[in-house]
Amino acid sequence: MSIRVNDPENDFEMIEKTTVHRLFCQHYSEMMRLARTMLYDDEEAEDVVQDVFVRLMETDILPAEGKTRAYLLTAVRNGSLNRIRQKSLTEQVKHLYTIEAQCDSLSVDEQMQTIEAICHYAETRLQEPHRTIFRLRYEDDMKLKDIALQMDMNLKTVFKDLSQAIQSIRKHYRH
């Protein structure tokens, strides 16, 4: 259920900026948390949340009173899912795992040391099934679909577990 906002001076009836600003102040942090959780990327999360507010400003419809939070979070969830669907699984993993880009400027010896350190971290610090999925993907060069079949797991679960393993490795090497 929505409420129409009428502005007789404007043919395209837009929501007042003060209303959008109020909604932004009230719900922004929760919307960002949801988008970050789904996308694992601050910039993309910011884009999704901004898109929701831009669409609100471009339309003349506000969520019904008492349903604003649910409406905004649903919009963020849908926007995040659309972003995820637009990418192939390979792109999703590459986006999470940017160690290759960091290694480009390193010498071959430094690259080998980095790879060995990552493998050692994966073997000693990652829990199962993250460790096995990481090993199958990057040491055995298996596709996620094949890993899912071999481990008798859902493809989305394999992707989620690989993403968590990569996030753990990235976090470890940022410090």
User: What is the average pLDDT score of the chain?
Assistant: 78
Sequence length of the chain is 175
Q: Contact, 56 vs 23, CB < 8 A?
A: yes
Mean per-residue pLDDT, 52-70: 79
Q: What is the pLDDT of residues 98-148, one digit of tens each?
A: 544 444 445 556 766 777 888 888 889 999 999 999 889 877 888 888 999
Q: Which residues have CB under 8 Å from 31's CB, separation 6+? A: 49, 52, 72, 73, 76
pLDDT value, residue 24: 83
Q: Please check whether residue 126 is in contact with residue 164, taking contact to mean a CB–CB distance below 8 angstroms.
A: no
Q: List the structure tokens of 142.
A: 């298996």
pLDDT in tens, 25-38: 888 888 998 888 88
Please name which of 90, 95, 164 lies closest in space to residue 131, comparing C-alpha atoms: 164
DSSP state of 63: E
pLDDT digits (tens, 9 = 90+) for 39-56: 878 888 999 999 888 888
Reported pTM:
0.45
- Domains along the chain? 2-86 (1.10.1740.10), 90-174 (1.10.10.10)
Helix (H) or strand (E) holding 120: helix 108-125
